[in-house]
Amino acid sequence: MNVQRPPAEVRFADELARLRETDDAPRPPGWALSLRAARAFIVGDDALGVSRKFVGDPSLIDRALVSLATSRGLLLVGEPGTAKSLLSELLAAAVSGDSTLTVQGGAATTEDQIKYSWNYAMLISEGPTARSLVPAPLLRGMAGGMTVRFEEITRCPLEVQDCLLSPLSDRVLAIPELPGDAGMVFARDGFNIIATANTRDRGVNDMSAALKRRFNFETVFPIADFDTELSLVESESGALLRRSGVTAPPRRDVLEVLVTAFRELRAGRTARGDEMDRLSAVMSTAEAVAVAHAVGLRGWFLHGAPGTAADLVSCLAGTAAKDSPDDLAKLRRYLEQHTAWRTGEPWRELRDARRELPGG
Amino acid sequence: MSLTVIGVRHHSPACARLVAATIRALRPAYVLIEGPSDMNGRIGEMLLGHELPVAVFTNYADGERRHGSWAPFCAYSPEWVALQTGHETGAELRFIDLPAWHEAFADRSNRYADAELRYAEAVDRLCTMFGVDNTDALWDHLVEMGPQEEIAERLTAYFDLIRGESAAGESDTAREAYMAGWLRAARAHAGDRPVVAVVGGFHRPALLRLAEGGPADWPPVPDLPAGAVVGSYLVPYSFRRLDAFAGYQSGMPSPEYYQQLWDHGPESAARHLVTVVAGRLRGRGHPVSTADLIAARTTAEALALLRGHPVPARVDVLDGLASALVAEALDVPLPWSVRGALTAGQHPAVVEMTAALSGARLGRLHPDTPLPPLVHAVTAELERHGLDRSGEITVDLLDPRDRERSRVLHRLRVMAIPGYARSTGPESGLDPALVETWTLRDEGSRLVALIEAGGYGATLPAAVEARLAERVAESPGDLAALAAVLFDVALSGVGELTGDVLEQLGHGVAAGTDLAELGRVLSVVLALWRHDELFGTAGTAALGVVVEAATRRILWLSDGLHGPGRPADPKRIRAVVAVRDAVLHGRRAGVLPAAAVEVAGRVAVDRAAPPDLRGAFYGLARVVAAAVLTDLPGVPGLPTPAEAVRGAFAGGTAGDWLAGLFGVARETVLAVDGMLPLLDDLISGFAADDFLVALPALRQAFEFFPPRERETIADRLLDRRGMTGSGRALLRVPATPEVVAAGMALDELVERRLSAAGLGTGER
């Protein structure tokens, strides 16, 4: 079976198995691994051959795991493209061994998709019974003592978000249609919620203070360290290029320029301290990888060589600035004014190619 | 015979405990301490019983270089504990490191910075290995929270790992060679009694190696270079300053936390931290519920368990507090996860946490301590200038003697010494006021303030320089504050800002966001930089940096300024004028004409830019291209004057556009082949209503011409129409504009009535 992207617990099944074998630390009730083993699963452990899967502060992982072991939910917030969803998947895989109990938040998300709904044919023939009940991720997670993931929670309307209140605080979900004891589902040990929210979407729907209080907030930041980000972009884009049939690895000096530019445009500040406007587009590491991939493709298929800084300019316009004329203008301004004072061949190339931007 | 070298991290309570225990157990003949060897004769001063923190401040000056550096001590500094315990047990105490003025310290202002940070790679690898964010968390994890009985081995392993792979830099090598000399000598002189040395752990492996062979005489204190002046003395210090060292100058952060750890142990320190943070937040009206505190406590303990600490460590407590108290997305990473100074945009709870960690403790010197030389220097200077009295005095800045007095007074004001207030005097570099009046009062708190200021330098100018440098670092992007610093530099006559301060100043200016303010600052600074003799600021590097940075910043801001319908703003135009002058006269400051011309060419043709800015930048491009870029073929894409003017007259914004142009380059109009005929045609072509609409802006535009040039324009206009008469008379219309406008309106009305009655010009 060729699955495009199996869930984390399948992709890293052998690592999880190794961790389970050697895991002798106490486990929180209902957890598949101890906190230490779960942490090792995410930040990596060379001795056990466990790879590092998330580049970021280890203390963030510590806090996230501890939050999950307490009575509060975990809310990962941050700019788009900071690997929040990946982190939530890894956490769920480590804690429950299953990352598939996922609710994707959106404007059209309803309580049915979160809690439970009914098989209407059976509902009509049998009435409300356990058989006609169709559990959604929240109910399944509570009944099975599993981690439930709620992606992009702030894209849901406020009143839909609030259906998490009693599962989070009283750890119980009422199914009023079912008679007797079956009408109350109490959460088993191991149940908790990992939600993610995008800081750019905060304006779409806010979150009630009551719900905020039931979550621990963890902000996921873009990668702080230049070298780490550069090597991540290099390895990821190299892998993508190989998969696209490009045999030439990306040029490191061009990637350096790319990552520098992304970091400066993201932070709104150049290395020597000039303040600039941030782009409204997302300048995430994931986006940088996409641009590096595009640069490599362009270089290889247009002139049979690794992508150059000139290719970078063309790709930046499409991938980074997208359709915003404002962003395009800001990008042009950056290329005009913040390339001349730097040394190095790729910066000169970049500057020379600045008129490749559409409308330049 | 035995030599024990304890490799420590400066300001580490765990190391301090180890040092005390070792010295008490061994009762050595000599205790050797990493510290300035030129202070050996004055160790007694350090044992007087000061309230910590205090620091040894060293001030060095020769013909080329001036340098101030600190060796700060707090109660839990291993070096301080070595002094005190060594004294108690009757050991001979020696400082064994090079003096602070030595070249090995030329780029250092904190003797007790973490040496290993200069060799970051090994530290990073260790952090990854232990899964911690940074070296401070790693240190807590391995040492402060580690079992006390294993500390010696852990320290050895830690520093061997770090040192093992990196070659020391030149200055570290020089220091190690010198310190090893003391080790050998002490061992030779101690007979069969032990010797204990307390040094930075990074140096320990090298010292052990170097101590093995070589001469065993006491090394001499290096000779001062000829003509150099040095002063070292004890000054009171503060936790705030101890925590403020950044980058590779920094040592252990969070002094108040470690003070608590030293005084009462880790459990109590953690409790204290939570109590103080909760208290501070509640004091500021930020709600902290009991449930939050319980959550913080639980999380901290769970984190400690997860990370393998017997009781919550510093980061465990902080992480717990952050989890419990921060219920929104953060704008910047938590300060303890990135290491370094607190950045702007922190969550209020995080700010209070950092403040609680840092503490506000101030040191105080024992009354018998020799006063810092600054106190004597100030007293002498006040006497010399006859300022050692109360009352009102007036100084004339043109009189050289008086100017010296003014400088002394300004220096005292900058150092915030109470009792010196200026009531009148120049408010800026261009203020024509040349007389100052000062009120001098004898304040009781003066001596205390002077002793505290003594930590900034040995003489008033040196102290002022250090204080002003600190102010530059404190106010990035705040142009008013930076301008005040520059003016204080000028007023107090301290000469030049140098090095890092200049860089920070440039960054500070480059972070400004107000075009008008930048323009104002640039024009004043440029004038001072080019011409000022009174304050001696002509050609100084500091002002040059500001000229360059402000020019660059104005170009950057203008390039993105949009608003096609905005009326002309004289302040904005003046900013472009300032840029013009900076480009024409500021090349020595590093202003790049080519960059200016490029931006100017772009703004001039940008339809989205405000019209006055377009006009101004069009003028700028022409002036600069003509004056500076004679060797270049011109500005690509820049329209000819005729095209540009016609373009501007299209949108009804001609007056605003011309205001910009005339503000920057009015000579383009006056030149023989200038644009006057074209302007005349276009303005004559206005319909009456359009003219009235454009009139205010046109008046504003022509106001940039001085009367003589306006007369020239008038003469040429008369000439062009073949009329005789005096241009001067044309400019002095006896009626007010309102009357002229009313007359024109009346003409128009009559014309219309006539044509309505069939008597119009057309029908006659």
**Residue B83 and residue B45 in contact, taking contact as beta carbons nearer than 8 Å:** no
Say which DSSP state A326 is in. Answer: H
Does the pLDDT value for residue B204 go beyond 50?
A: yes
Contact B497, B472 (CB under 8 A): yes
pLDDT at A210: 87
pLDDT at B551 over 80: yes
Among the listed ranges B32-41, B94-103, B539-548, which one has the minimum average pLDDT value?
Answer: B539-548
Q: Which of A65, A66, A277 sits opposite B560 (nearest CB)?
A: A277
Give the pLDDT confidence of B141-170 residue by residue, as tens digits: 888 888 888 888 888 888 888 777 666 778
Q: How far apart are CA B685 and CA B677, in angstroms?
A: 12
Distance CA A334, CA B647 (A): 28
Distance CA A69, CA A58 (A): 17
A148 band by pLDDT with thresholds 50, 70 and 90: very high
- Express as a percent the part of chain B with pLDDT over 90: 8
Q: Do both B336 and B409 map to the same domain?
A: no
Can you give the pLDDT at residue B65?
67
Domain borders along chain A are 8-220, 226-356
Query: pLDDT at position B221, please?
Result: 86
Q: What letters, b where the CB count within 10 A reaches 16 and e where it falls short, cover A115-153?
A: bbbeeeeebeeeebbeebbebbbbbbbbebbbbbbbbbb
CB B75 within 8 A of CB B262: yes
Query: Between B434 and A124, where is the model more confident?
Result: A124
pLDDT for B598 equals 80
Residue B199 included in any domain: yes
Give the closest-approach CA distance of A3 to chain B in angstroms: 33
For the residues of B671-711, what is the DSSP string, one character each? STTSSHHHHHHHHHTS-HHHHHHHHHHHHHHHTTS-HHHHH
A102 with A151: CB under 8 angstroms? Answer: yes
pLDDT tens digit string along B344-387?
A: 677 888 888 888 888 888 888 888 888 878 888 888 888 888 88
Give the residue carrying structure tokens 């709104």: A268
B94 with B210, same domain: the answer is yes
**Chain A contact probe: residue of B132, B306, B503 with most A CBs at under 10 A:** B306
Interface test with A, best of B288, B297, B299 (most A CBs within 10 A): B299
- Altogether, the residues listed in chain A come to a count of 360
| Segment among A210-224, B233-247, B293-307 with least mean pLDDT | B233-247
What mean pLDDT do residues A183-207 have?
Answer: 83
Token pair of B335, please?
């300060």
Instruction: State whether B236 and B262 are in the same domain.
Output: no
The predicted model gives B188-203 an average pLDDT of 88
Token pair, residue B661, equals 């142009």
Q: How far is B607 from chain A (nearest CA, A)?
A: 13
HEC letters along B9-34: CCCCHHHHHHHHHHHHHHCCCEEEEE
Mean pLDDT, residues B499-523: 79
Nearest CB among A63, A275, A329 relative to B319 is that of A63
Query: For residue B81, what pLDDT is reported?
Result: 93
CATH class of A8-220: alpha beta
SS3 of residue A12 by DSSP: coil
Last residue of a domain, one of B298, B324, B358: B358
Is residue B557 within 8 A of residue A330, CB to CB? The reply is no
Last residue of a domain, one of B196, B221, B248: B248
* Mean pLDDT, range B701-712, rounded to an integer: 82
Percentage of residues in chain B having pLDDT higher than 70: 91
pLDDT confidence of residue A146: 93
Tens of pLDDT, residues A326-347: 788 788 888 877 777 787 888 8
Query: Which whole number is the average pLDDT over A135-139?
Result: 93
Q: Are residues B238 and B286 in the same domain?
A: no
Question: Which of B303, B476, B592 is closest, CB to CB, to A63?
Answer: B303
Residues B112 and B23 in one domain: yes
Q: In the predicted model, what is the mean pLDDT of chain A?
A: 86
pLDDT at A194 over 90: yes
Residue B12 near residue B139, CB atoms below 8 Å? yes
Instruction: Point out the domain boundary residue: B609, B638, B667.
Output: B638
Cα–Cα–Cα angle for B311, B315, B321, nearest 5°?
95
| B182 and B89 both lie in a single domain | yes
3-state DSSP call for residue B547?
A: helix
Task: Please give the pLDDT value at position B673.
Answer: 65
In a domain, residue B363? The reply is: no
Radius of gyration from C-alpha coordinates of chain A: 24
Write out pLDDT tens, residues B526-541.
887 887 777 777 777 7
Same domain, yes or no, for B267 and B347? Answer: yes
pLDDT at B690: 74
Torsion A122-A127-A129-A133 (CA) sign? positive
B553: closest CA among B584, B597, B512, B601?
B512
Domain around B315: 255-358
Question: Are residues B152 and B22 both part of a single domain?
Answer: yes
Q: Quick check: A202 pLDDT over 60?
A: no
Determine the length of chain B. Answer: 764
From the list A66, A212, A217, which residue is nearest B302 (CB)?
A66
Closest CA to A197 of B456, B335, B327: B327
At residue B764 the predicted structure's pLDDT band, cuts being 50, 70 and 90, is very low
* Helix or strand run (H / E) with residue B282: helix B266-283
Q: Which of A169-173, B395-399, B624-628 is least confident?
A: B624-628
- Does residue B633 carry a pLDDT above 80? no
Helix (H) or strand (E) holding B70: strand B66-73
C-beta neighbour count of B681 within 10 angstroms: 13
Instruction: Write out chain B residues lying below 8 Å of A219, CB-based.
Output: 329-330, 333
List C-alpha distances in Å: B367 to B45, B236, B371.
Answer: 11, 12, 9
Helices (H), B334-445: 335-338, 348-358, 373-384, 400-414
**Burial letters B185-220, b for 16+ CB under 10 A, else e:** bbbeebeeebbbbbbbbbbbbbbbebbeeeeeebbe
Q: Which of A27, A31, A53, A63 to mutate to test the interface with B (most CBs of B within 10 A)?
A: A63
Going by C-alpha positions, the residue among B101, B10, B8 that lies closest to residue B53 is: B10
Strand A184-186 relative to strand A147-151, pairing: unpaired
- Identify which of A62, A219, A277 has the shortest CB distance to residue B319: A62
Output the CA–CA distances (angstroms, integers) from residue B403 to B234, B542, B547, in the order listed.
32, 21, 26
Q: Is the pLDDT of residue B763 over 50?
A: no
Residue B481 domain flag: no
pLDDT at A180 over 90: no
How open is the CA angle A30-A53-A64, to the nearest 5 degrees? 45
State the virtual CA torsion across B346, B349, B351, B357 in degrees, nearest 10.
Answer: -140
Of A53-67, A265-279, B627-641, which gets the smallest average pLDDT? Answer: B627-641
Q: Is A186 helix (H, G, I), strand (E, B) or coil?
A: strand
Task: Based on the fold, state whether residues B299 and B349 are members of the same structural domain.
Answer: yes
- CA–chain centroid gap for A86, Å, is 4
Partner-chain contact A77 B329, CB within 8 Å: yes
Q: Which residues of A touch B552 (CB under 8 A)?
A: 274, 337
Count: domains in chain B: 4
- Interface contact B602-A336, CB threshold 8 A: yes
pLDDT at B635: 56
Q: What is the pLDDT of residue B61?
A: 73
Q: Which residues of A touch B597 (CB under 8 A)?
A: none
What tens digit of pLDDT does each residue of A273-320 get?
677 777 777 788 888 888 899 889 988 888 888 888 888 888 887 776
Q: In this complex, is the C-beta atom of B473 within 8 Å of any C-beta atom belonging to chain A?
A: no
Q: Which chain B residue's Cα is nearest to A197?
A: B329
pLDDT single digits (tens) B458-501: 788 888 888 888 788 777 777 778 888 888 888 888 766 666 67
Q: Which pLDDT belongs to residue B628?
A: 67
Band of pLDDT at residue B630, cut at 50, 70 and 90: low
Residue B474, in any domain of the structure: no
Tell me the whole-structure pTM to 2 decimals. 0.74
Q: Are A164 and A150 in contact (CB under 8 A)?
A: yes
Tokens of B726: 């005096």
Does pLDDT of B267 surpass 80?
yes
B21, B27 contact by CB (below 8 A): no
Both B226 and B90 in one domain: the answer is yes
- Residue A293 CA: distances (Å) to CA of A35, A240, B324: 36, 7, 41
Residue of chain B with shortest Cα separation from A326: B560
pLDDT average, residue stretch B720-738: 77
